[in-house]
Chain A
Amino acid sequence: MTDYFPLVERIVFENSALDAEMYFRGGSVTGLSEKRLKDGSRAVSFFINGEPGAAYLLGEAGGKPISQAEFSALGDFHPRAIKLPDVAGRLLQLAFESQAEEKFSVAGDDVWGELTARWKKESKSGLIEARLGQIHGFSLFWQGERQKSDMIFSTPQGFIGDFPPSVSANAPWDIVVYACRPQTQAYQYTVLRQGVIRWSRDLLARYQEMVGQKLLQLLNRELARQAQPWRWNIAFEGVEMFDLHFFPYLTDAAHAYRALFMTMGSQMSFVIGGALTHRLLSETFERIFPEERAALQSQRLIPAAFSE
C-alpha cells in the first residue's frame, strides 16, 4: 500500500499524535494523520478545519470506520501527518468509504480520451484515483462529467485542481475506479454538494438571463459576504459555484447551503419579486437529477424555503 499524496511534506512532530492534533486544531487546518500498524495495515484520522473528523482502519476492501478513541489507541508513535486542501480531504474520505471496483493502467492521451468518452456515454458517477510515480490525485466523475470542484492532484509544484499536464505523456497512469456506496455519509455529502452546485448554476444562469451580469455580480458579492464570517471556502464566479470546503457532517453542509440559498432568494426577491423568484427556484429545481433532488429535499433545501 503506497502513501496518499506522497509529495506532500510530512509535518514533523517531536512528540506523538498529540502534537499532530494540537497542530491541526491550532491552525484550523485540514489534514490527515496516518498510522502504520504492525500487521502492515494502516489507520487514518481526518482533521477537518481543525476539528477531528472520521477515522478509518484501511484494508484491501476499503476503509472501516473507527472512532477517534480507537485510532488514538492504535500503536505507532510517529504517525505521518500531512496538511491537505479541503478538496483532497473530502475526496480521500469518499475513497475510504467506497469500494474499489476496477484497477488498470492508462498510457497516452488517446486511451485516456476513449475512457472518459465511454464514462460520459455511460453517465458514469464514481471516483477515480490516478497515480503516476509520485503524482497522485482524485477526480470525481458525476453523471459522466468531470467535476471542476472535485478534482485535485498533488504534483511537485503543489496541489492543482486539474489533471497534471504530464497526463498527455506516454507514461502509464495507475487508475483505481471506486464505486460509491449510497448509504455512506461521504457519498450522501457528494450527492448533496453536486445537487447544490447544479441547482445554483441553473438558478443563477436564469437570474442572469433576466437581470443581466451586473446584478448577478451584486448577488455574488452578497454570497461572498455570507460565506466569509463562517470561513466557508465557497466562491461564486458568474453562474458557477466553486465549493472547495470540506464539511465534516452532512448537517453542516446543509446549514451552509441553506444560508447561501436564503441569500440568493432574498436578493432575487428584492430585484425580481417573490413570485418570480419562487418560479425560478422551482423551475430549476425540477431540472436537476432525481437523486440530487432527493438529497436536497432530505435536508429541506427546497424552493419554498427560499422565496419570500
Chain B
Amino acid sequence: MPNQSRAFSFKISPVRAVWVGAAFSALLLVSTLWIYFSVSLTESLTPFWKDKLLDVLIFIPALGSAVAGTLLLSQFGINETPRRVWTAFTLGLWCWVGGEIAGVVNDFLYWDSVYPEFSVVDALWLAGYFFLGLSLYYQLGIVYSKTRARRRMYLGLVALAILATAALTSLAERSGLGEGYAWVILFITILYPVLDAIQGTAAIWTSILFRRGQWSRPWWGLILFALADSVDSFYWLGGYQFISSAAQTALNFIAVAAYPASYIVAGLALLVNYFILRYGEDSGLVKTPKRIMPPK
C-alpha cells in the first residue's frame, strides 16, 4: 500500500516551532502595544524614531506571514487547484510587505515635507487587496460550483463596489472631506475601507463556511485586518471627535493590536498548514481521528 509510513527526524519539532513562533509573536505584540502607549518612551524618543520602531515591529510579522505563505505554496504541485488560492494569498501578503517597506521609505523621504498624493505605497496596498480578493474568489469558487451565473454575480459585486465607492467619493467631496485632493485620490482613499468591508465580509463568510477547520485559519488574519482598518476609517470619517476619551483609547488599542495580529494569525496558520502538508501526521499537528478497533 503506498504512503504507509514515513519517518522524519527533526532538529526542532514542528509543534515546538509553532509554539516558539507563537511566543515570539506574543512578545512582538506586547512590545508594539508598549511602545505605542508608553509615556516614558514618548518622552525619550522622537515621534519619527518611535514610528520607525513600530514599523519594524509590524514588518517582522508581515514578512513572517509572507514567508510562511511561500513555504505553504511550495507544497503544492503545479496543477493542483488549491495552489492558485494560496498563490494569490501569498502574492497579496508580499505586496503588503512591499507596502510596509515603501511606507518606511516614504517616511524617510517625506517626514518633514508633503507626502505625494499617490505613491508606490498605494499601488502595493491596492495590489495586495487585489490578490487577497482573488484568493477569496478562488477559494469560494472551489467550494461552490463555478457556474457562469456565479461569475456574473462576482463581477456584479465588483462593479457595485466601484460604483458605491464613486458615490461615496462624490458625497465626501460635497461634504468638504479631502479638500484640495483630486477626485481620483479621494476615490482611492475611500476604496480602502470599501475593500476592507468587502474582504472582511468575504473572509468571515469563508470562516463560517469552514467553521473551525484548520484550512480556514489564514483567513482569520484578513478579518483582523479589516477590524484594524475599520477603526482607521472611522477616525478618517471624523468619528474621533464624537466619542469619549476612554472609547478612543479602547479603539486605539484595538487598532494597534489588530493590525500586527492580523499578520501574526495569518502567518502562524500558514506555518501550521505548511508543517501539516510537509510532514503529515509526523508533524504532531494533525488531530488523529478516533479509530474503531476490533474486539480483543
Q: Which residues of A contact B (CB under 8 A)?
A: 209-215, 217-218, 220-222, 224-226, 229-230, 235, 237, 259, 262-263, 266-267, 269-277, 279
How far is A211 from B83 in the complex, measured between Cα atoms in Å?
A: 9
Please determine whether A221 and B289 come into contact, CB atoms closer than 8 angstroms.
no
Please determine whether A270 and B210 come into contact, CB atoms closer than 8 angstroms.
no
A/B interface sample: 13 pairs, CB < 8 A: A209-B82, A210-B143, A212-B76, A214-B280, A215-B277, A218-B280, A222-B288, A229-B293, A267-B289, A273-B213, A273-B216, A276-B213, A279-B143
Please determine whether B77 and A276 come into contact, CB atoms closer than 8 angstroms.
no
Please determine whether B294 and A229 come into contact, CB atoms closer than 8 angstroms.
yes
B7 within 8 A of A: no
How far is A277 from B4 in the complex, measured between Cα atoms in Å?
A: 24
Please determine whether B208 and A275 come into contact, CB atoms closer than 8 angstroms.
yes
A221-B75 in contact given A263-B289, A267-B289, A271-B214 (Cβ < 8 Å): no
A213-B80 in contact given A263-B289, A272-B216 (Cβ < 8 Å): yes
Complex partner residue of B82 from A212, A220, A235, CB under 8 angstroms: A212
Please determine whether B82 and A221 come into contact, CB atoms closer than 8 angstroms.
no
Neighbouring B residues of A277 by C-beta, 8 Å: 213
Please determine whether A209 and B288 come into contact, CB atoms closer than 8 angstroms.
no
* Interface positions of B from 242 to 296, Cβ below 8 Å from A: 276-277, 280-281, 286-294
Please determine whether B209 and A212 come into contact, CB atoms closer than 8 angstroms.
no
A230-B280 in contact given A212-B82, A275-B210 (Cβ < 8 Å): no
Please determine whether A221 and B214 come into contact, CB atoms closer than 8 angstroms.
no
Please determine whether A237 and B2 come into contact, CB atoms closer than 8 angstroms.
yes
Neighbouring A residues of B3 by C-beta, 8 Å: 217, 220-221
Complex partner residue of B142 from A210, A213, A226, CB under 8 angstroms: A210
Complex partner residue of A270 from B208, B213, B280, B292, CB under 8 angstroms: B213
Neighbouring A residues of B80 by C-beta, 8 Å: 212-213
B37 within 8 A of A: no
Complex partner residue of A214 from B209, B277, B293, B294, CB under 8 angstroms: B277
How far is A276 from B215 in the complex, measured between Cα atoms in Å?
A: 11
Tell me the minimal C-beta distance from A303 to chain B in angstroms.
16
Complex partner residue of B289 from A220, A230, A266, A274, CB under 8 angstroms: A266
Neighbouring A residues of B215 by C-beta, 8 Å: 210-211, 271-273
A209-B4 in contact given A217-B280, A269-B213, A271-B215 (Cβ < 8 Å): no
Q: Which residues of B contact A (CB under 8 A)?
A: 1-5, 75-77, 80-83, 142-143, 208-216, 276-277, 280-281, 286-294
B208's closest neighbor in chain A, by CB? Answer: A275
Please determine whether B82 and A210 come into contact, CB atoms closer than 8 angstroms.
yes
How far is A250 from B286 in the complex, measured between Cα atoms in Å?
A: 33
A242's closest neighbor in chain B, by CB? Answer: B1
Please determine whether A262 and B212 come into contact, CB atoms closer than 8 angstroms.
no
B82's closest neighbor in chain A, by CB? Answer: A212
Neighbouring A residues of B76 by C-beta, 8 Å: 212-214
How far is A212 from B81 in the complex, measured between Cα atoms in Å?
A: 7
How far is A149 from B75 in the complex, measured between Cα atoms in Å?
A: 31
Please determine whether A214 and B211 come into contact, CB atoms closer than 8 angstroms.
no
How far is A225 from B291 in the complex, measured between Cα atoms in Å?
A: 8
Neighbouring A residues of B77 by C-beta, 8 Å: 212-213
Please determine whether A218 and B211 come into contact, CB atoms closer than 8 angstroms.
no
B6's closest neighbor in chain A, by CB? Answer: A221
Supply 15 further A-B pairs (C-beta < 8 A) apart from A212-B277, A269-B213, A270-B213.
A209-B81, A210-B215, A211-B82, A213-B77, A214-B76, A217-B3, A218-B280, A226-B292, A229-B291, A263-B291, A271-B213, A272-B215, A273-B215, A274-B213, A276-B209
How far is A222 from B282 in the complex, measured between Cα atoms in Å?
A: 12
A259's closest neighbor in chain B, by CB? Answer: B292
Tell me the minimal C-beta distance from A27 to chain B in angstroms.
18
How far is A267 from B285 in the complex, measured between Cα atoms in Å?
A: 12
Tell me the minimal C-beta distance from A110 to chain B in angstroms.
37
Of listed B3, B286, B287, B290, residue having the most chain A CB within 10 A: B3
Neighbouring A residues of B208 by C-beta, 8 Å: 275
Tell me the minimal C-beta distance from A3 to chain B in angstroms.
33
Neighbouring B residues of A235 by C-beta, 8 Å: 1
Neighbouring A residues of B293 by C-beta, 8 Å: 229
Tell me the minimal C-beta distance from B287 to chain A in angstroms.
5
Tell me the minimal C-beta distance from B42 to chain A in angstroms.
44
Of listed A211, A229, A230, A272, residue having the most chain B CB within 10 A: A211
B145's closest neighbor in chain A, by CB? Answer: A283
Tell me the minimal C-beta distance from B269 to chain A in angstroms.
12
How far is A273 from B292 in the complex, measured between Cα atoms in Å?
A: 21
How far is A249 from B80 in the complex, measured between Cα atoms in Å?
A: 40
Neighbouring B residues of A275 by C-beta, 8 Å: 208-211
How far is A286 from B80 in the complex, measured between Cα atoms in Å?
A: 25
Neighbouring A residues of B5 by C-beta, 8 Å: 221
Please determine whether A218 and B276 come into contact, CB atoms closer than 8 angstroms.
yes
Please determine whether A276 and B210 come into contact, CB atoms closer than 8 angstroms.
yes
Neighbouring B residues of A221 by C-beta, 8 Å: 3-5, 280-281
Neighbouring A residues of B212 by C-beta, 8 Å: 273-274
A231's closest neighbor in chain B, by CB? Answer: B294
Neighbouring B residues of A213 by C-beta, 8 Å: 76-77, 80
Tell me the minimal C-beta distance from A288 to chain B in angstroms.
17
Neighbouring A residues of B142 by C-beta, 8 Å: 209-210
Of listed A225, A235, A273, residue having the most chain B CB within 10 A: A273
